[in-house]
A and B are shown apart, each in its own frame.
Chain A
Amino acid sequence: MKFKMLLALILLCFVSAVSGFGQSAEEIMALPDSMAMAPPAPPSNVRGVDTDNDHGHSITLTWETSPDDGAGLNNVIGYKVFRAESPDGPFIERALIPSGGTGHIDVGAKEKDANDYLPDHVGFYYKVRAITADSLIYAESEVFGPVQSYGQWFNTGRVPVLVFVIFFLFVTLFFIQKAKGGANLFVRRLAGIEAVDEAIGRATEMGKPILYVLGLGTAADIATIASYTILGRVAKKVAEYQTGLIVPCYDPIVMTVAQETVKASYMDAGRPDAYYEDMVYFVTQSQFAYVAAVNGTMLRERPATNIYMGKFYAESLILAETGALAGSIQISGTDEIAQIPFFVVACDYTLIGEELYAASAYLGREPLLLGSLKAQDYAKAAAIIIAIIGFITMNFGIEAFKHLFYVSN
Chain B
Amino acid sequence: MTGWIPRIIAISGSDIGIIISLVVIGGGLAWLLKQSIKAGDVDRRIVFLFIFISVSVPILFPITFSETATPIVKKLYDRIENLPEGSAVLISFDFDPAMAPEVQPMADAFARHCLAKNHKVIFMSLWATGQSLLSTTLQNVVRPEFPEKIEGVDFANLGYKAGNEGVLNVIVTNFRKMFPTDVNSIPLDSIAVFKKIRSCQDLDLIISIGGGKPGAKEWILFVGDPANVPMGCGVAAVTAPQLYPYYPKQLLGILGGIKGAAEYESELVRHYDRFADVKKPGLRMMGPQTLAHVVIMAFIVLGNISYFVTRRRGKKP
Asked if A and B form a direct contact in the complex, defined as CB atoms under 8 angstroms apart, the reply is yes
A residues near B, CB below 8 A? 1, 4-5, 8-9, 12, 15-16, 19, 21-22, 70, 74, 77-78, 97-100, 133, 325
Q: Is the CB of A21 within 8 A of B169?
A: no
Jot down 25 A-B pairs with beta carbons below 8 A, ordered by A: A8-B201, A9-B201, A12-B174, A12-B198, A12-B201, A15-B173, A15-B198, A16-B174, A16-B198, A19-B177, A21-B174, A22-B176, A22-B194, A22-B198, A70-B173, A74-B173, A78-B166, A78-B170, A97-B166, A98-B169, A99-B169, A100-B169, A133-B176, A133-B180, A325-B44
Q: Is the CB of A98 within 8 A of B165?
A: yes
Other A-B contacts than A21-B176, A22-B176, 14 sampled, CB-CB below 8 A, are A1-B228, A5-B201, A15-B173, A19-B176, A19-B177, A21-B174, A74-B173, A77-B177, A78-B166, A97-B166, A98-B166, A98-B167, A99-B169, A325-B44
In Å, the complex CA distance between A15 and B165 comes to 21
How many chain B residues touch A (Cβ–Cβ < 8 Å)? 21
Interface string of B192-205 (1 = CB under 8 A from A): 00100011010000
Q: Is the CB of A98 within 8 A of B163?
A: yes
Contact status of A99 and B198, CB under 8 A, knowing A21-B189, A22-B188, A325-B44:
no
In Å, the complex CA distance between A15 and B194 comes to 16
Q: Is the CB of A15 within 8 A of B170?
A: no
Interface string of B34-53 (1 = CB under 8 A from A): 00000000001000000000
B residues near A, CB below 8 A? 44, 163, 165-167, 169-170, 173-174, 176-178, 180, 188-189, 194, 198-199, 201, 227-228
In Å, the complex CA distance between A12 and B171 comes to 12
Contact pick for B174, options A1, A5, A19, A78, CB 8 Å: A19
Q: Is the CB of A133 within 8 A of B201?
A: no
Contact pick for A77, options B44, B170, B194, B198, CB 8 Å: B170
Chain A residues within 8 Å of B173, by CB: 12, 15, 70, 74
In Å, the complex CA distance between A353 and B177 comes to 54
Identity of the chain A residue whose Cβ is nearest the Cβ of B169 in the assembled complex: A98
How many Å from the CB of A218 to the closest CB on chain B?
A: 26
**A-B Cβ contacts below 8 A, count:** 53
How many Å from the CB of B291 to the closest CB on chain A?
A: 21
In Å, the complex CA distance between A98 and B172 comes to 12
Residue from A22, A70, A78, A99 having most chain B Cβ neighbours under 10 A: A22
Identity of the chain B residue whose Cβ is nearest the Cβ of A324 in the assembled complex: B44
Contact pick for A21, options B165, B180, B228, CB 8 Å: B180
How many Å from the CB of A136 to the closest CB on chain B?
A: 15
Chain A residues within 8 Å of B177, by CB: 19, 21, 77, 133
How many Å from the CB of A21 to the closest CB on chain B?
A: 4
In Å, the complex CA distance between A15 and B174 comes to 8
6 tightest Cβ-Cβ pairs between the two chains A and B: A98-B166, A21-B176, A22-B189, A98-B169, A77-B177, A12-B198
Chain B residues within 8 Å of A16, by CB: 174, 176, 198
In Å, the complex CA distance between A15 and B170 comes to 12
In Å, the complex CA distance between A22 and B175 comes to 10
Q: Is the CB of B228 within 8 A of A4?
A: yes
In Å, the complex CA distance between A325 and B228 comes to 59
Chain A residues within 8 Å of B188, by CB: 21-22
Identity of the chain B residue whose Cβ is nearest the Cβ of A11 in the assembled complex: B173
In Å, the complex CA distance between A77 and B198 comes to 15
Identity of the chain A residue whose Cβ is nearest the Cβ of B167 in the assembled complex: A98
In Å, the complex CA distance between A6 and B188 comes to 23
In Å, the complex CA distance between A15 and B178 comes to 14
In Å, the complex CA distance between A4 and B226 comes to 12
How many Å from the CB of A305 to the closest CB on chain B?
A: 20
How many Å from the CB of B12 to the closest CB on chain A?
A: 38
Chain A residues within 8 Å of B174, by CB: 12, 15-16, 19, 21, 77
In Å, the complex CA distance between A16 and B227 comes to 17
Residue from B44, B174, B188, B201 having most chain A Cβ neighbours under 10 A: B174
Identity of the chain B residue whose Cβ is nearest the Cβ of A77 in the assembled complex: B177
Contact status of A12 and B199, CB under 8 A, knowing A78-B166, A99-B169:
yes
Residue from A4, A5, A15, A19 having most chain B Cβ neighbours under 10 A: A15
Chain A residues within 8 Å of B169, by CB: 98-100
How many Å from the CB of A359 to the closest CB on chain B?
A: 31
How many Å from the CB of B163 to the closest CB on chain A?
A: 6
Identity of the chain A residue whose Cβ is nearest the Cβ of B227 in the assembled complex: A8
In Å, the complex CA distance between A131 and B177 comes to 11
In Å, the complex CA distance between A97 and B170 comes to 11
